[in-house]
Structure 1
Amino acid sequence: MIEKAGGNTAEMDDRYLVPGLMRGLSILESFNRDRQEQTMAQMAKNVGLSRSTTFRLVYTLEAIGYLDRVGSGKSYRLGTKVLELGYSFLSGRELVDVARPLLEKLRDETSCSTHLVVREGVDIVYIARCSGNTRLVSGITVGTRLPAHATVSGRTILAHMPIGDIVGLYENYEFRRYTDSTITSLGELVIQLEKDRYKSSLISWGYFEPNIASIAAPVFNRASVIEASVIATCPIETYSKDAFESEIRIKVEKTAANISLALGYQPKQL
Protein backbone atom coordinates (compact mmCIF):
# COMPACT_ATOMS: atom_id res chain seq x y z
CA MET A 1 0.00 0.00 0.00
CA ILE A 2 1.36 3.45 -0.90
CA GLU A 3 0.12 6.91 -0.02
CA LYS A 4 -1.28 8.82 -2.96
CA ALA A 5 -1.23 12.59 -3.43
CA GLY A 6 -3.76 14.28 -1.16
CA GLY A 7 -3.24 11.82 1.67
CA ASN A 8 -5.41 9.03 0.23
CA THR A 9 -4.19 5.47 0.40
CA ALA A 10 -4.91 2.69 -2.03
CA GLU A 11 -3.73 -0.83 -2.70
CA MET A 12 -1.33 -0.66 -5.63
CA ASP A 13 0.86 -3.33 -7.14
CA ASP A 14 4.50 -2.26 -6.82
CA ARG A 15 5.36 -4.31 -9.90
CA TYR A 16 3.88 -1.60 -12.10
CA LEU A 17 5.67 1.31 -10.49
CA VAL A 18 8.53 2.94 -12.41
CA PRO A 19 11.26 3.81 -9.87
CA GLY A 20 13.15 6.04 -12.30
CA LEU A 21 10.06 8.15 -12.94
CA MET A 22 9.38 8.41 -9.21
CA ARG A 23 12.95 9.56 -8.57
CA GLY A 24 12.72 12.12 -11.37
CA LEU A 25 9.50 13.52 -9.94
CA SER A 26 11.07 13.67 -6.49
CA ILE A 27 13.75 15.93 -7.97
CA LEU A 28 11.06 18.31 -9.27
CA GLU A 29 9.16 18.18 -5.98
CA SER A 30 12.29 19.19 -4.07
CA PHE A 31 11.89 22.73 -5.44
CA ASN A 32 9.56 25.04 -3.53
CA ARG A 33 8.98 28.69 -2.66
CA ASP A 34 11.99 28.77 -0.34
CA ARG A 35 14.19 26.59 -2.53
CA GLN A 36 13.82 27.96 -6.05
CA GLU A 37 17.38 27.16 -7.14
CA GLN A 38 19.52 24.13 -6.30
CA THR A 39 22.84 22.65 -7.29
CA MET A 40 23.04 18.99 -8.23
CA ALA A 41 24.66 18.22 -4.88
CA GLN A 42 21.82 19.93 -3.02
CA MET A 43 19.22 17.99 -4.99
CA ALA A 44 20.99 14.70 -4.25
CA LYS A 45 21.01 15.51 -0.54
CA ASN A 46 17.41 16.76 -0.41
CA VAL A 47 15.92 13.70 -2.13
CA GLY A 48 18.35 11.12 -0.73
CA LEU A 49 19.85 9.94 -4.01
CA SER A 50 23.41 9.23 -5.06
CA ARG A 51 25.19 11.89 -7.07
CA SER A 52 25.51 9.62 -10.09
CA THR A 53 21.77 8.90 -10.14
CA THR A 54 20.99 12.57 -9.59
CA PHE A 55 23.29 13.53 -12.46
CA ARG A 56 21.43 11.27 -14.91
CA LEU A 57 18.03 12.47 -13.74
CA VAL A 58 18.98 16.15 -13.86
CA TYR A 59 20.61 15.72 -17.27
CA THR A 60 17.40 14.15 -18.61
CA LEU A 61 15.08 16.70 -17.00
CA GLU A 62 17.15 19.55 -18.40
CA ALA A 63 17.18 18.00 -21.87
CA ILE A 64 13.37 17.83 -22.03
CA GLY A 65 12.74 21.26 -20.50
CA TYR A 66 11.67 20.42 -16.95
CA LEU A 67 14.82 21.94 -15.42
CA ASP A 68 16.75 25.01 -16.54
CA ARG A 69 20.36 25.77 -15.72
CA VAL A 70 20.80 29.17 -14.07
CA GLY A 71 23.20 31.10 -16.30
CA SER A 72 26.50 29.29 -16.74
CA GLY A 73 26.67 28.20 -13.10
CA LYS A 74 25.95 24.95 -11.30
CA SER A 75 22.45 25.77 -10.08
CA TYR A 76 19.14 24.71 -11.61
CA ARG A 77 15.55 25.89 -11.37
CA LEU A 78 12.23 24.53 -12.59
CA GLY A 79 11.87 24.83 -16.36
CA THR A 80 9.04 26.14 -18.49
CA LYS A 81 7.64 22.64 -19.07
CA VAL A 82 6.67 22.43 -15.39
CA LEU A 83 4.92 25.80 -15.63
CA GLU A 84 3.12 24.75 -18.81
CA LEU A 85 1.76 21.66 -17.08
CA GLY A 86 0.42 23.76 -14.23
CA TYR A 87 -1.12 26.36 -16.50
CA SER A 88 -2.70 23.70 -18.70
CA PHE A 89 -4.35 22.11 -15.67
CA LEU A 90 -5.60 25.38 -14.22
CA SER A 91 -6.82 26.90 -17.47
CA GLY A 92 -8.68 23.67 -18.24
CA ARG A 93 -10.90 24.13 -15.19
CA GLU A 94 -14.26 25.76 -15.70
CA LEU A 95 -14.18 29.53 -15.27
CA VAL A 96 -17.02 29.49 -12.76
CA ASP A 97 -15.38 26.73 -10.69
CA VAL A 98 -12.20 28.79 -10.49
CA ALA A 99 -14.00 32.04 -9.70
CA ARG A 100 -16.69 30.96 -7.23
CA PRO A 101 -14.60 30.60 -4.04
CA LEU A 102 -12.91 33.92 -4.76
CA LEU A 103 -16.27 35.61 -5.36
CA GLU A 104 -17.52 34.18 -2.07
CA LYS A 105 -14.46 35.51 -0.27
CA LEU A 106 -14.97 38.95 -1.82
CA ARG A 107 -18.64 38.87 -0.78
CA ASP A 108 -17.71 37.94 2.79
CA GLU A 109 -15.07 40.68 3.01
CA THR A 110 -17.25 43.47 1.62
CA SER A 111 -20.90 42.44 2.22
CA CYS A 112 -21.44 43.33 -1.46
CA SER A 113 -23.12 41.06 -3.96
CA THR A 114 -20.40 39.71 -6.23
CA HIS A 115 -20.75 38.56 -9.80
CA LEU A 116 -18.85 37.20 -12.77
CA VAL A 117 -19.93 38.20 -16.27
CA VAL A 118 -18.84 37.36 -19.80
CA ARG A 119 -19.66 39.06 -23.08
CA GLU A 120 -22.00 37.63 -25.69
CA GLY A 121 -22.29 39.98 -28.65
CA VAL A 122 -23.31 43.42 -27.38
CA ASP A 123 -24.55 42.03 -24.06
CA ILE A 124 -22.97 40.84 -20.85
CA VAL A 125 -24.26 37.62 -19.31
CA TYR A 126 -24.07 36.83 -15.60
CA ILE A 127 -22.54 33.38 -15.13
CA ALA A 128 -21.98 33.44 -11.34
CA ARG A 129 -23.51 35.37 -8.46
CA CYS A 130 -22.97 35.47 -4.70
CA SER A 131 -25.66 37.42 -2.85
CA GLY A 132 -24.39 40.02 -0.41
CA ASN A 133 -25.42 40.89 3.12
CA THR A 134 -26.96 44.25 2.27
CA ARG A 135 -30.59 45.16 1.64
CA LEU A 136 -30.00 45.21 -2.08
CA VAL A 137 -33.10 44.01 -3.92
CA SER A 138 -31.94 42.92 -7.34
CA GLY A 139 -33.43 41.09 -10.26
CA ILE A 140 -29.96 39.91 -11.29
CA THR A 141 -29.66 36.14 -11.50
CA VAL A 142 -27.34 33.77 -13.32
CA GLY A 143 -28.28 34.13 -16.98
CA THR A 144 -29.33 37.79 -16.76
CA ARG A 145 -28.29 39.80 -19.82
CA LEU A 146 -27.54 43.53 -19.78
CA PRO A 147 -26.22 45.90 -22.47
CA ALA A 148 -22.43 45.93 -22.33
CA HIS A 149 -22.03 49.59 -23.33
CA ALA A 150 -24.29 50.79 -20.49
CA THR A 151 -22.61 48.96 -17.59
CA VAL A 152 -19.14 49.22 -16.07
CA SER A 153 -18.87 45.43 -16.12
CA GLY A 154 -19.49 45.47 -19.86
CA ARG A 155 -17.20 48.42 -20.53
CA THR A 156 -14.46 46.66 -18.58
CA ILE A 157 -14.55 43.84 -21.13
CA LEU A 158 -15.05 46.06 -24.19
CA ALA A 159 -12.10 48.27 -23.18
CA HIS A 160 -9.69 45.37 -23.66
CA MET A 161 -10.94 44.41 -27.11
CA PRO A 162 -9.47 45.72 -30.39
CA ILE A 163 -11.19 48.90 -31.56
CA GLY A 164 -11.92 47.25 -34.91
CA ASP A 165 -13.98 44.61 -33.11
CA ILE A 166 -15.88 47.32 -31.23
CA VAL A 167 -16.73 49.10 -34.48
CA GLY A 168 -17.90 45.83 -36.01
CA LEU A 169 -20.17 45.16 -33.03
CA TYR A 170 -21.71 48.60 -32.74
CA GLU A 171 -21.67 50.29 -36.16
CA ASN A 172 -25.36 49.49 -36.75
CA TYR A 173 -26.38 49.31 -33.10
CA GLU A 174 -29.25 51.37 -31.72
CA PHE A 175 -27.93 52.80 -28.46
CA ARG A 176 -30.53 53.04 -25.71
CA ARG A 177 -30.24 55.55 -22.87
CA TYR A 178 -30.72 54.09 -19.36
CA THR A 179 -29.53 57.04 -17.28
CA ASP A 180 -28.12 60.48 -18.01
CA SER A 181 -24.65 58.88 -18.00
CA THR A 182 -25.39 56.24 -20.66
CA ILE A 183 -23.24 56.30 -23.80
CA THR A 184 -25.48 56.84 -26.83
CA SER A 185 -23.21 56.68 -29.90
CA LEU A 186 -20.36 54.63 -31.33
CA GLY A 187 -18.03 57.62 -31.35
CA GLU A 188 -18.72 58.33 -27.70
CA LEU A 189 -18.21 54.66 -26.85
CA VAL A 190 -14.83 54.48 -28.60
CA ILE A 191 -13.60 57.61 -26.82
CA GLN A 192 -14.73 56.26 -23.45
CA LEU A 193 -13.17 52.84 -24.01
CA GLU A 194 -9.83 54.43 -24.87
CA LYS A 195 -9.92 56.02 -21.41
CA ASP A 196 -11.18 52.85 -19.71
CA ARG A 197 -8.41 50.73 -21.23
CA TYR A 198 -5.78 52.20 -18.91
CA LYS A 199 -7.75 51.78 -15.70
CA SER A 200 -7.39 48.76 -13.42
CA SER A 201 -11.11 48.90 -12.57
CA LEU A 202 -14.22 50.94 -13.38
CA ILE A 203 -16.60 52.42 -10.82
CA SER A 204 -20.31 53.11 -11.18
CA TRP A 205 -21.96 55.46 -8.73
CA GLY A 206 -25.48 55.16 -10.10
CA TYR A 207 -24.23 54.82 -13.69
CA PHE A 208 -26.71 52.10 -14.70
CA GLU A 209 -29.08 51.94 -11.74
CA PRO A 210 -29.48 55.24 -9.84
CA ASN A 211 -29.16 53.86 -6.30
CA ILE A 212 -26.56 51.15 -6.92
CA ALA A 213 -22.78 51.40 -6.62
CA SER A 214 -20.61 48.95 -8.57
CA ILE A 215 -16.95 48.22 -9.22
CA ALA A 216 -15.80 46.02 -12.10
CA ALA A 217 -12.32 44.66 -12.83
CA PRO A 218 -11.09 42.59 -15.79
CA VAL A 219 -10.24 38.89 -15.83
CA PHE A 220 -7.69 37.68 -18.38
CA ASN A 221 -6.91 34.17 -19.59
CA ARG A 222 -3.63 32.42 -20.28
CA ALA A 223 -3.39 34.04 -23.72
CA SER A 224 -3.69 37.50 -22.07
CA VAL A 225 -7.10 37.92 -23.70
CA ILE A 226 -10.01 39.43 -21.78
CA GLU A 227 -12.17 36.59 -20.47
CA ALA A 228 -14.68 38.12 -18.08
CA SER A 229 -15.16 40.79 -15.45
CA VAL A 230 -15.71 40.65 -11.71
CA ILE A 231 -18.29 43.00 -10.19
CA ALA A 232 -19.16 43.98 -6.65
CA THR A 233 -22.46 45.83 -6.13
CA CYS A 234 -24.26 47.34 -3.16
CA PRO A 235 -26.74 50.12 -2.34
CA ILE A 236 -25.05 53.52 -2.58
CA GLU A 237 -25.62 54.21 1.12
CA THR A 238 -23.61 51.11 2.17
CA TYR A 239 -20.24 52.86 1.94
CA SER A 240 -19.01 56.40 1.64
CA LYS A 241 -17.86 57.16 -1.88
CA ASP A 242 -14.25 57.51 -0.69
CA ALA A 243 -14.30 54.13 1.08
CA PHE A 244 -15.94 52.44 -1.89
CA GLU A 245 -13.44 53.86 -4.35
CA SER A 246 -10.45 52.91 -2.21
CA GLU A 247 -11.00 49.92 0.11
CA ILE A 248 -13.59 48.05 -1.96
CA ARG A 249 -11.87 48.83 -5.25
CA ILE A 250 -8.64 47.23 -4.03
CA LYS A 251 -10.45 44.04 -2.99
CA VAL A 252 -12.29 43.76 -6.32
CA GLU A 253 -9.08 44.27 -8.30
CA LYS A 254 -7.29 41.66 -6.19
CA THR A 255 -10.09 39.15 -6.75
CA ALA A 256 -10.03 39.67 -10.52
CA ALA A 257 -6.24 39.37 -10.54
CA ASN A 258 -6.36 36.10 -8.58
CA ILE A 259 -8.94 34.62 -10.94
CA SER A 260 -6.75 35.64 -13.88
CA LEU A 261 -3.72 33.95 -12.31
CA ALA A 262 -5.76 30.80 -11.70
CA LEU A 263 -6.61 30.77 -15.42
CA GLY A 264 -2.91 30.89 -16.29
CA TYR A 265 -2.58 34.61 -16.98
CA GLN A 266 0.96 35.93 -16.57
CA PRO A 267 1.08 39.69 -15.88
CA LYS A 268 3.71 41.59 -17.81
CA GLN A 269 6.74 42.46 -15.73
CA LEU A 270 7.48 46.18 -15.62
Structure 2
Amino acid sequence: MSQVPAATRTLRVLRFLASQPDPVPLERIAQACDLPRSSAYHLLRAMVDEGFVTHLGEERRFGLGLAAFEVGSGYSRQAPLQRIARRAVAALADRTGESAHLAVLHGRDVLYVVEERAPGRPPLVTDVGVRLPAHLTASGRAILAGLPRPQVRALYPDAAAFTDRHGAGPQSPGALRTLLAETRQRGWATEDGEVTPGLASVAVAVVDHNGHPVAGVAVTYPSTDPPSVSAEVRRTAELITRRLGGLVVE
Protein backbone atom coordinates (compact mmCIF):
# COMPACT_ATOMS: atom_id res chain seq x y z
CA MET A 1 0.00 0.00 0.00
CA SER A 2 2.90 2.36 0.71
CA GLN A 3 3.84 2.26 -2.99
CA VAL A 4 0.49 3.58 -4.20
CA PRO A 5 1.06 7.26 -3.27
CA ALA A 6 4.48 7.18 -5.00
CA ALA A 7 2.91 5.73 -8.13
CA THR A 8 0.21 8.40 -8.01
CA ARG A 9 2.80 11.17 -7.72
CA THR A 10 4.77 9.72 -10.62
CA LEU A 11 1.72 9.60 -12.88
CA ARG A 12 0.75 13.11 -11.81
CA VAL A 13 4.19 14.42 -12.86
CA LEU A 14 4.04 12.58 -16.19
CA ARG A 15 0.57 13.92 -16.91
CA PHE A 16 1.70 17.45 -16.11
CA LEU A 17 4.82 17.24 -18.29
CA ALA A 18 2.74 15.82 -21.15
CA SER A 19 0.42 18.83 -20.97
CA GLN A 20 3.24 21.38 -21.33
CA PRO A 21 4.40 22.71 -24.70
CA ASP A 22 8.03 22.88 -23.49
CA PRO A 23 10.21 21.43 -20.69
CA VAL A 24 9.65 23.21 -17.37
CA PRO A 25 11.74 24.03 -14.26
CA LEU A 26 11.64 21.96 -11.08
CA GLU A 27 9.84 24.63 -9.07
CA ARG A 28 6.92 24.72 -11.49
CA ILE A 29 6.59 20.92 -11.46
CA ALA A 30 6.61 20.83 -7.66
CA GLN A 31 3.97 23.56 -7.46
CA ALA A 32 1.68 22.09 -10.15
CA CYS A 33 1.86 18.59 -8.68
CA ASP A 34 1.60 19.74 -5.06
CA LEU A 35 4.94 18.20 -4.07
CA PRO A 36 7.72 19.39 -1.76
CA ARG A 37 10.66 20.58 -3.84
CA SER A 38 12.98 17.89 -2.49
CA SER A 39 10.45 15.13 -3.17
CA ALA A 40 9.87 16.41 -6.69
CA TYR A 41 13.61 16.47 -7.33
CA HIS A 42 14.21 12.89 -6.16
CA LEU A 43 11.17 11.66 -8.09
CA LEU A 44 12.36 13.37 -11.28
CA ARG A 45 15.88 11.97 -10.89
CA ALA A 46 14.45 8.46 -10.67
CA MET A 47 12.32 9.12 -13.77
CA VAL A 48 15.39 10.43 -15.60
CA ASP A 49 17.27 7.23 -14.72
CA GLU A 50 14.41 5.17 -16.20
CA GLY A 51 14.20 7.28 -19.35
CA PHE A 52 10.73 8.72 -18.76
CA VAL A 53 12.05 12.24 -18.16
CA THR A 54 14.90 14.18 -19.78
CA HIS A 55 16.87 16.79 -17.82
CA LEU A 56 18.07 19.74 -19.91
CA GLY A 57 20.91 20.76 -17.63
CA GLU A 58 21.84 24.04 -19.27
CA GLU A 59 18.24 25.26 -19.07
CA ARG A 60 17.55 23.65 -15.67
CA ARG A 61 14.33 22.20 -17.03
CA PHE A 62 12.68 18.79 -17.27
CA GLY A 63 10.71 17.30 -20.18
CA LEU A 64 9.38 13.96 -21.33
CA GLY A 65 12.00 11.33 -22.22
CA LEU A 66 12.21 8.54 -24.78
CA ALA A 67 10.46 6.00 -22.56
CA ALA A 68 7.44 8.30 -22.29
CA PHE A 69 7.34 8.60 -26.08
CA GLU A 70 7.42 4.81 -26.34
CA VAL A 71 4.46 4.49 -23.97
CA GLY A 72 2.52 7.09 -25.93
CA SER A 73 3.31 5.54 -29.29
CA GLY A 74 2.43 2.13 -27.83
CA TYR A 75 -1.12 3.38 -27.34
CA SER A 76 -1.17 4.79 -30.86
CA ARG A 77 0.04 1.48 -32.31
CA GLN A 78 -2.88 -0.45 -30.89
CA ALA A 79 -6.04 -1.37 -32.72
CA PRO A 80 -8.07 1.87 -32.22
CA LEU A 81 -5.72 3.94 -34.39
CA GLN A 82 -5.39 1.19 -36.98
CA ARG A 83 -9.15 0.71 -37.21
CA ILE A 84 -9.74 4.42 -37.55
CA ALA A 85 -7.03 4.91 -40.18
CA ARG A 86 -7.13 1.76 -42.32
CA ARG A 87 -9.99 2.71 -44.64
CA ALA A 88 -8.75 6.28 -45.02
CA VAL A 89 -5.26 5.08 -45.97
CA ALA A 90 -6.72 2.55 -48.42
CA ALA A 91 -8.81 5.29 -50.01
CA LEU A 92 -5.68 7.46 -50.28
CA ALA A 93 -3.89 4.69 -52.19
CA ASP A 94 -6.91 4.32 -54.49
CA ARG A 95 -7.16 8.05 -55.21
CA THR A 96 -3.45 8.57 -55.89
CA GLY A 97 -2.63 5.22 -57.49
CA GLU A 98 0.42 5.04 -55.23
CA SER A 99 1.25 3.04 -52.10
CA ALA A 100 0.21 4.68 -48.82
CA HIS A 101 1.02 4.02 -45.18
CA LEU A 102 0.60 5.18 -41.60
CA ALA A 103 3.48 5.24 -39.11
CA VAL A 104 3.91 6.20 -35.45
CA LEU A 105 6.96 7.44 -33.58
CA HIS A 106 8.84 4.85 -31.52
CA GLY A 107 11.90 6.41 -29.94
CA ARG A 108 14.02 7.71 -32.83
CA ASP A 109 12.29 5.36 -35.27
CA VAL A 110 8.93 5.26 -36.96
CA LEU A 111 6.95 2.03 -36.80
CA TYR A 112 4.61 1.29 -39.70
CA VAL A 113 1.15 0.20 -38.52
CA VAL A 114 -0.97 0.45 -41.69
CA GLU A 115 0.26 -0.34 -45.20
CA GLU A 116 -1.72 -0.19 -48.46
CA ARG A 117 0.14 -1.25 -51.61
CA ALA A 118 -1.08 0.12 -54.94
CA PRO A 119 -1.16 -2.43 -57.80
CA GLY A 120 1.78 -2.25 -60.18
CA ARG A 121 3.83 0.13 -58.09
CA PRO A 122 7.45 -0.50 -56.98
CA PRO A 123 8.08 -2.77 -53.97
CA LEU A 124 8.76 -0.96 -50.69
CA VAL A 125 10.88 -1.68 -47.62
CA THR A 126 8.00 -0.45 -45.45
CA ASP A 127 5.46 -2.93 -44.11
CA VAL A 128 3.42 -3.37 -40.95
CA GLY A 129 5.87 -3.84 -38.08
CA VAL A 130 8.90 -2.40 -39.92
CA ARG A 131 10.91 0.29 -38.15
CA LEU A 132 12.98 2.97 -39.94
CA PRO A 133 14.92 6.01 -38.69
CA ALA A 134 12.40 8.81 -38.16
CA HIS A 135 14.71 11.59 -39.38
CA LEU A 136 15.07 9.90 -42.79
CA THR A 137 11.39 9.18 -43.49
CA ALA A 138 8.68 11.61 -44.58
CA SER A 139 6.33 10.20 -41.91
CA GLY A 140 8.92 10.67 -39.19
CA ARG A 141 9.73 14.19 -40.30
CA ALA A 142 6.04 15.12 -40.32
CA ILE A 143 5.73 13.91 -36.72
CA LEU A 144 9.00 15.49 -35.53
CA ALA A 145 8.04 18.83 -37.08
CA GLY A 146 4.94 18.88 -34.87
CA LEU A 147 6.77 18.15 -31.61
CA PRO A 148 8.00 20.92 -29.29
CA ARG A 149 11.55 21.84 -30.25
CA PRO A 150 13.05 20.89 -26.85
CA GLN A 151 11.54 17.41 -27.23
CA VAL A 152 13.20 17.03 -30.63
CA ARG A 153 16.45 18.20 -29.06
CA ALA A 154 16.07 15.55 -26.36
CA LEU A 155 15.57 12.87 -29.01
CA TYR A 156 18.52 14.08 -31.12
CA PRO A 157 21.02 15.68 -28.73
CA ASP A 158 24.14 15.18 -30.88
CA ALA A 159 25.49 13.66 -34.11
CA ALA A 160 25.69 10.20 -32.51
CA ALA A 161 21.85 10.04 -32.50
CA PHE A 162 21.69 10.05 -36.33
CA THR A 163 21.84 6.81 -38.30
CA ASP A 164 22.53 6.64 -42.04
CA ARG A 165 21.15 4.42 -44.82
CA HIS A 166 22.33 5.79 -48.15
CA GLY A 167 24.54 8.75 -47.30
CA ALA A 168 21.71 11.27 -47.44
CA GLY A 169 19.61 13.10 -44.88
CA PRO A 170 20.42 15.20 -41.81
CA GLN A 171 23.42 14.11 -39.77
CA SER A 172 23.42 16.75 -37.03
CA PRO A 173 20.93 18.54 -34.75
CA GLY A 174 21.40 21.76 -36.72
CA ALA A 175 20.66 20.09 -40.05
CA LEU A 176 17.56 18.47 -38.58
CA ARG A 177 16.32 21.79 -37.17
CA THR A 178 16.64 23.38 -40.62
CA LEU A 179 14.81 20.50 -42.29
CA LEU A 180 11.97 20.55 -39.76
CA ALA A 181 11.60 24.33 -40.05
CA GLU A 182 11.21 23.92 -43.82
CA THR A 183 8.65 21.16 -43.20
CA ARG A 184 6.58 23.34 -40.88
CA GLN A 185 6.66 26.23 -43.36
CA ARG A 186 5.67 23.99 -46.29
CA GLY A 187 2.92 22.15 -44.41
CA TRP A 188 4.05 18.64 -45.34
CA ALA A 189 7.20 16.53 -45.10
CA THR A 190 9.21 15.02 -47.94
CA GLU A 191 12.08 12.65 -48.52
CA ASP A 192 13.70 11.60 -51.79
CA GLY A 193 15.97 8.57 -51.96
CA GLU A 194 16.91 8.72 -48.29
CA VAL A 195 15.03 5.51 -47.43
CA THR A 196 15.20 3.75 -50.81
CA PRO A 197 17.09 5.16 -53.81
CA GLY A 198 14.69 5.99 -56.62
CA LEU A 199 11.66 6.39 -54.37
CA ALA A 200 10.29 9.53 -52.70
CA SER A 201 7.52 10.22 -50.18
CA VAL A 202 5.21 12.98 -48.98
CA ALA A 203 3.70 12.90 -45.47
CA VAL A 204 1.43 14.91 -43.17
CA ALA A 205 1.02 14.44 -39.40
CA VAL A 206 -2.13 13.22 -37.65
CA VAL A 207 -2.70 15.08 -34.36
CA ASP A 208 -4.74 14.39 -31.23
CA HIS A 209 -7.00 16.71 -29.21
CA ASN A 210 -3.93 18.35 -27.64
CA GLY A 211 -2.43 19.11 -31.04
CA HIS A 212 0.24 16.45 -30.42
CA PRO A 213 1.37 14.51 -33.53
CA VAL A 214 0.51 10.85 -33.01
CA ALA A 215 1.17 9.48 -36.50
CA GLY A 216 2.22 10.36 -40.03
CA VAL A 217 0.32 9.54 -43.24
CA ALA A 218 2.49 9.15 -46.32
CA VAL A 219 2.42 8.26 -50.00
CA THR A 220 5.50 6.77 -51.71
CA TYR A 221 6.18 7.01 -55.45
CA PRO A 222 9.04 6.80 -58.00
CA SER A 223 11.31 9.85 -57.86
CA THR A 224 11.39 10.04 -61.65
CA ASP A 225 7.59 10.40 -61.94
CA PRO A 226 6.41 12.49 -58.95
CA PRO A 227 2.62 12.85 -58.78
CA SER A 228 0.90 15.82 -57.13
CA VAL A 229 -0.22 14.12 -53.93
CA SER A 230 0.37 16.59 -51.09
CA ALA A 231 -3.26 17.80 -51.06
CA GLU A 232 -4.58 14.23 -50.94
CA VAL A 233 -2.19 13.26 -48.14
CA ARG A 234 -3.23 16.34 -46.15
CA ARG A 235 -6.91 15.52 -46.73
CA THR A 236 -6.37 11.99 -45.37
CA ALA A 237 -4.39 13.21 -42.34
CA GLU A 238 -7.14 15.71 -41.51
CA LEU A 239 -9.81 13.01 -41.82
CA ILE A 240 -7.99 10.71 -39.39
CA THR A 241 -7.31 13.65 -37.06
CA ARG A 242 -11.03 14.44 -36.90
CA ARG A 243 -11.87 10.80 -36.23
CA LEU A 244 -9.40 10.84 -33.32
CA GLY A 245 -11.06 13.96 -31.92
CA GLY A 246 -8.14 16.16 -32.90
CA LEU A 247 -8.34 19.76 -34.02
CA VAL A 248 -7.75 20.49 -37.69
CA VAL A 249 -6.22 23.92 -38.35
CA GLU A 250 -7.80 25.38 -41.46
Relative to the length of structure 1, the TM-score reads 0.59
Displacement of 1:135:
3.3
Alpha-carbon distance in structure 1 between the residues aligned to 2:148 and 2:187: 17
Gaps of 5+ in 1: 1-91
Correspondence for 1:232: 219
Alpha-carbon distance in structure 2 between the residues aligned to 1:213 and 1:154: 14
Return the letter of the residue paired with 1:192: L
Alpha-carbon distance in structure 1 between the residues aligned to 2:214 and 2:175: 24
Match of 1:151 among 137, 154, 159: 137
| Mapped pair 1:100 → 2:81 | no
Whether the 8 Å contact between 1:134 and 1:234 is mirrored in structure 2 is: no
**Compared with structure 1, are the counterparts of its residues 268 and 109 closer, same or farther at alpha carbon in structure 2 (3 Å cutoff)?**
closer
Return the letter of the residue paired with 1:203: T
Displacement of 1:199:
2.5
SS of 2:146's partner is coil
Displacement of 1:183:
0.5
Deviations 1:39-82 (A, max 9, x none): xxxxxxxxxxxxxxxxxxxxxxxxxxxxxxxxxxxxxxxxxxxx
Correspondence for 1:265: 246
Whether the 8 Å contact between 2:193 and 2:200 is mirrored in structure 1 is: yes
Correspondence for 1:142: 128
Whether the 8 Å contact between 2:142 and 2:205 is mirrored in structure 1 is: yes
Return the letter of the residue paired with 1:130: E
Deviations 1:222-250 (A, max 9, x none): 2211110001112234x3x3xx2xx3111
| Mapped pair 1:131 → 2:131 | no
SS of 2:182's partner is helix
Percent of residue pairs bearing the same amino acid type: 31
Mapping 1:202-241, distance limit 5 Å: 202-237=189-224, 239=225, 241=226
Alpha-carbon distance in structure 2 between the residues aligned to 1:93 and 1:205: 30
Alpha-carbon distance in structure 2 between the residues aligned to 1:208 and 1:261: 29
Return the letter of the residue paired with 1:228: A
Whether the 8 Å contact between 2:99 and 2:121 is mirrored in structure 1 is: no
Alpha-carbon distance in structure 1 between the residues aligned to 2:120 and 2:223: 11
Correspondence for 1:187: 174
Displacement of 1:93:
7.9
SS of 1:198's partner is helix
Alpha-carbon distance in structure 2 between the residues aligned to 1:99 and 1:156: 17
Mapping 1:235-254, distance limit 5 Å: 235-237=222-224, 239=225, 241=226, 244=227, 247-254=228-235
Displacement of 1:131:
1.1
Structure 1 stretches of 4+ moved >4 Å: none
Whether the 8 Å contact between 2:238 and 2:248 is mirrored in structure 1 is: no
Return the letter of the residue paired with 2:81: L
Alpha-carbon distance in structure 1 between the residues aligned to 2:190 and 2:175: 18
**Compared with structure 1, are the counterparts of its residues 259 and 117 closer, same or farther at alpha carbon in structure 2 (3 Å cutoff)?**
same
Displacement of 1:202:
1.8
Alpha-carbon distance in structure 2 between the residues aligned to 1:134 and 1:205: 20
Match of 1:196 among 183, 188, 192: 183
Correspondence for 1:16: none
Displacement of 1:180:
4.5
Aligned-residue CA RMSD in angstroms? Answer: 2.0
Of the two, which has the highest radius of gyration? 1
Alpha-carbon distance in structure 2 between the residues aligned to 1:191 and 1:130: 31
Match of 2:156 among 170, 189, 201: 170
Gaps of 5+ in 2: 1-77
Correspondence for 1:75: none
| Mapped pair 1:114 → 2:100 | yes
SS of 2:100's partner is strand
Return the letter of the residue paired with 2:126: I
Displacement of 1:268:
4.0
Displacement of 1:174:
3.5
Alpha-carbon distance in structure 2 between the residues aligned to 1:217 and 1:268: 13
